[in-house]
Amino acid sequence: MLIKKIIILPIIFLFSYLFAVFTHAIDISASAAVVINADTKEIIYEKNAFEKRSMASTTKIMTSVLAIESGRMNDSVEVTSSALTEGSSIGLKAGYVLTLSDIVYGMLLESGNDAANVCALHLGGSFEEFASMMNRKASELGMTETNFVTPSGLDDEKHYTTAYDMAVLGAYCIKNPVFREICSDKKHSVTFTEPDITVSFSNHNRLLDSCEGVFGVKTGFTKKSGRCLVSACERDGAELICVTLNAPDDWNDHIKLYDASFAELNRSTMKLTSLSEVTVYGGIGDKAEIYCDEYVHHYKEDGTLTQQIILPDIIYAPVKKGEILGEVRYYSDEALVNTGYIYSKSDIPCAEETYKSKRSLAELLTDFFKRKD
């Protein structure tokens, strides 16, 4: 594949009286908070967003995504006594057996500390090794001010993050369709393999019913951390992540922040900017008109994107209408934010096939009139 063009798309620069981040306009209870665009990571609002703080059970976001990405969600997992712990629980006991998938539901909906520990021991073999797995993933995601120690979020002096880092994690996780489905589920029934019982999990995230567009993600609380909340919200095609740490009135904080943040967003529909056709070899007609998936870009202040068009060096006939010929990739500050396909607008048949088709039609007509005689 050949990268054909790289184009800078200056969208709109806001007037000078608008600020990149409005830190003064909203009265919230949180000690630290941030709202970011889930695609571009642009900060829409922030308050002490880079201050290191404990994050309670929002930790289970990382524990859950590691379980989902392990490819072992169908594993049968036996609970050991070493996994049982204090705090919130889904009622596990030593000897119980359930699937890793059910354990993830228990973490994201009921916030079970026991579920988090069982997951950590099953995937990592020890709490220490699983913490290393968590921190490697955090490093991959660019969570530079985060250190994980516990899989559940129970307090530890070396267990900390920032509101911004948790927003980055949330933005990553909601792109995983399995994670997204689980964290948005309001209720889920689980049947254990051992013992033969069925339990129902209820999601603790009240925003699922009280805030327009919210579909996740995770609550948290300890005395040290206070109330912590990571949520995700979609309105008119834009997805935002909101994080509050130590927020006594977190539900209302998130509602206020979403209403204000979505009102700040601009939008622009992105298309191919300078390429409308490609050369096709060996066809009837040597050009194929092309088009791409539209990408609606949401942004607050500077909507500049880099557009990268990727097409093969040579395109040979035949080409079918609607056939995928290449890709267009959109980057914001070198981060990939969207990929769309490039399609052909029409059929371009091979020259030889067209000739054969015409000849075959002529032969059929000749045979028909011969039969008439």
Which residue is catalytic, options 54, 111, 231, 261? 111
Told to judge if 126 belongs to the known catalytic residues of this protein, a careful annotator would answer no
Distance CA 310, CA 45 (A): 35
- What is the C-alpha to C-alpha distance for residues 56 and 52, in angstroms, rounded to an integer? 13
Q: Tell me if residue 172 falls in helix, strand or coil.
A: helix
Find how far residue 97's CA is from the centre of its chain.
31
Q: Is the peptide bond before 195 cis (omega within 30 degrees of 0)?
A: yes
| Residue 175 annotated among the catalytic residues of the structure | no
Catalytic residue among 41, 60, 218, 256: 60
Is residue 134 within 8 A of residue 151, CB to CB? The reply is: yes
Round to whole Å and give the CA distance between 152 and 56.
8
Is 31 considered catalytic here?
A: no
Question: What would the DSSP string read from start to end of 254-310?
Answer: HHHHHHHHHHH-EEEEE--SS--EEEEESBSSSEEEEEE--EEEEESSB--EEEEEE
List strands edge to edge, sheet with 287-292.
2-9, 305-311, 324-332, 335-344, 287-292, 277-281, 315-316
Contacts of residue 55, Cβ cutoff 8 Å, sequence gap at least 6: 153, 159, 160, 161, 166, 220, 225, 228, 245
The residue annotated as part of the active site, out of 57, 64, 231, 344, is 57
Query: Which residues carry out catalysis?
Result: 57, 60, 111
